Amino acid sequence: MEMLVINKIALKLGPFAIHWYAILIVTGSVIGVWLACRESVRRHLTSNDVTDFVLWAVPFGLLGVRIYYVIFQWSYYSQHPSEIIALWDGGGAIYGGLVAGVIVLFIFAHIQKFNPLDLLDIAVPAVLIGQAFGRWGNFVNQEAYGNIVSNLNWLPSIIRQQMFIDGAYRQPTFLFESLGTLIAFLIIMILRHHLKDLRRGEIFGFYLIWYGIVRFIVEGMRTDSLMLGNIRISQLLSLLLACFGISFILYRRFKIKTIEYYNKG
């Protein structure tokens, strides 16, 4: 049976091609920014503060996504330098974007004299939505998949067909991570509106723990991991982030004398 594969290009306008990957990333970003703007008021910021930050964070984040990936795939890109900028064809590392985004956030917070923990807590749900949407871009591009499986009968046919790669069905690791980030988003939305003793920075800490665990598990299933010798780079970084998140929350809870409640400013 012939498998129908989704075309990476959603729309062509003359010589210009709009890829599904880009559409999904932009959609997730727009929803994330909208959520961040709504939450900014509770943190004594404005929607203009959020959009100003986004105007800096998005381009540098995308740059970080690509640079991180290219560095660990340099053996290929050194032979194909014209493909280095072709992010729309896939090939990115979310951790590169997160590192770049956090650096921009701290610089922006310092310049604007904001508490960086407020910005981090505001940004986390937006980042999770962006990640959830972005993994479906990997789905369209047929990347970030796992090992061969005998069947995917538990999934809708459109996913099964797209996960039939190189003559075999593959674990839909993009789906596992997308669902994991979406669940984290829902938990955070509940916690930040209903948990009265939630403290500044704890949403950020929760994100580090949750995503670190989810990514560690999912990365172990993937066949395209960026490697450093025999070590999966993303698994190592995920473990470090989860440990840092736990340490961060414990430190804020038991060592910081001045309590800064999230819901009270």
Per-residue pLDDT, 265: 45
Q: What pLDDT was estimated at residue 260?
A: 66
- As to burial, measured by CB atoms within 10 angstroms (0-12 exposed, 13-18 middle, 19+ buried), residue 127 is buried
Amino acid at 172: P
Structural contact between residues 141 and 90, judged by C-beta atoms closer than 8 angstroms: yes
Cα torsion through 215, 101, 17, 4, rounded to 10: 10
50, burial (CB in 10 Å: exposed 0-12, middle 13-18, buried 19+): buried
Cα separation of 61 and 212, whole Å?
A: 19
Cβ-based neighbour number of residue 244 at 10 Å: 14
> b/e map of 73-100 (b: 16 or more CB within 10 Å)?
beeebeeeeeebeebbebbbbbbbbbbb
The CA-based angle 220-225-226, given to 5 degrees, is 135
Distance between CA atoms of residues 132 and 24, nearest Å? 9
Instruction: Tell me what pLDDT residue 163 has.
Output: 95
What is the structure's pLDDT at 135? 92
d(CA 76, CA 69): 11
State the pTM of this model.
0.88
Distance (Å, whole) CA 220 – CA 216 = 6
- Profile the chain (265 residues) by mean pLDDT over runs of 10 residues: 75 85 89 91 87 91 86 81 74 84 94 92 93 92 92 94 93 96 94 83 95 96 86 93 95 74 56
